[in-house]
Structure 1
Amino acid sequence: MQPVTEKRDFPARLLDLAEQTAGLAQTALYRAVGRRFPYESLSWEAVALDLEDLLGGSSGTVEKVLSEDRLLETERHVRDLLEEIRAEDPFLRRWAADSVLARCCYLLCRLLRPSVVVETGVAYGVSSAFLLAALAENGRGELHSIDLVPPRRGARRFQGVAVPESLRGRWTLHRGASRRVLPPLLRSLRERGGVDLFVHDSLHSRANMEGEFALVWPELRRGGAVVADDVERNAAFGSLQRRKPALWRVVCDRETDPLHGPPASVAFGVAVKGRRDRRYNPDS
């Protein structure tokens, strides 16, 4: 792994903690009272085929990518690892990316063949592992992950634990709240052409989600994509629909082969910024 960067400004870290606490309280309230799903949604299979139509090279591309040995190996590794650490796990298991979101990250990373991927929210590093596996399969690209370590004993030691050592050469972990870390990171990446793929899985408050989307969308290359987990919690993902993307979809489905625990319902969004001149070519 590339050197970890960390913001150590004490007052700012207190603000991070306050923001994190408020966000967790908002999430708890959402879970307690429930909210009506704010978007029309599709199955993962339908959205995957839409991505194939927009970004894939030919019919059958999605099926081929989702059958790749590296993806299947990553699924086995993550599933075994999460079971192995269960006894001393400091996180909440629901903080781990679900199997459908993880596959979506892998698929998009393979179709887009990105040079730069940015994600917010790490915890175990499940989505990180799938993104890095796809980058390794591509033979190019790097991942920048932003994560605020939760105030739990042992959390720092388990942060990103799902990422195999063999994949860490393309990975830089930035510790801190996305509110502080994301703007300077995007400025530095702008000089290299911007971002190809952005994955949101950090604090799911409307303010945080809309803030991240507003920062990232202008820095996203044409044909780049945004993936956002748990979009059903508020109307933030709708802000990207108003930007007229080439594709805007919300997935609402249920796992069939989970990475952890029993099969669960999943909900996430995908938005693609314009069409790329070049479509997926596994040999390029």
Structure 2
Amino acid sequence: MEFHPYFGFLITLQETVKLLPRNGKLLFSVTIISLLLSSIFFLIFNFSSFSLMRDMLPKESLFPMTSSNSAEFATKLMGIKENFPLVLATYIAFVLSYLIISFFSTINTVSVSAMSYNFKTLTLKELTSKFVKSCPRMFITGFYTTILVAGFTFFAISLGTPLLMSSDLDILGSAILLGILAYIFYLYISVAWIMAIVVTVHEEEICGIQALGKSAEIVKGNRLNGFILNIFLNLLSLGIYLGSKMIQGQTFSGLFLVIFSCLVKILTFVIYTVFYFQCKNENGEEIELHGSTVYSKISTTHLVNDIP
């Protein structure tokens, strides 16, 4: 498949739309379960954290009225210290819940999308087996990609922080421009990082640095298309975020953001799975899932030399 330098991403989106109905019931089930789990855990977290913070804030507001040497001060301080581990445990539980849901939606979305792209069906038993086998590899690759994202973020912030400390408007404008350019560059380099997740799920026994290296090879020559896809997905996320700000009520606004962010995440990995196969085809590789035949790119040099 030949990709146009600027409009190849439209081919990916078109293929994604065609792919969605295939194994539609299974993908729909994965989506609904992901949305339900995300919504339930958000509501539990929102209620728990709100209750704990509501209990802590009145105690904090009384500190200025209390002498630091009094027994009342010590009592209030101990009360806050008792609540703090509960708040911390709530946030940790939320993060762990998010990781579990993220693993569930990402692995299953890629698995179903890969089979759908090759016009194959996938049973619930096969999907469950794929999920269990992919989880350890997914954790390793996710660890490396998180380090890359954190490292890039720290580097960008370290460059921009000195500029933000200035009171000069021109320098502040330069800091904002630097932040925008850094984010655009992040969208460009993160194409291979996202693709590494697809490689990890789809290709067995590949994870971590090996998956990152393989993904860099796969997107070589097509990174521009991935970059434009990232822009499209981030604009979609921005629209959802702005839409959540128009909804009254913190709980409803947060729930709206969680639900549609989950949908964008699932859509992202459907799109990237399609993009993965398009890049493989562009490189002359064909892969049959579960089966039997694997076609790989053959060097034309050997074919020429073999001709008498």
Q: TM-score range by the shorter chain?
A: 0.3 to 0.5
Normalization by structure 2: what TM-score?
0.30
Please say which structure displays the higher CA radius of gyration: 2
Higher strand share: 1
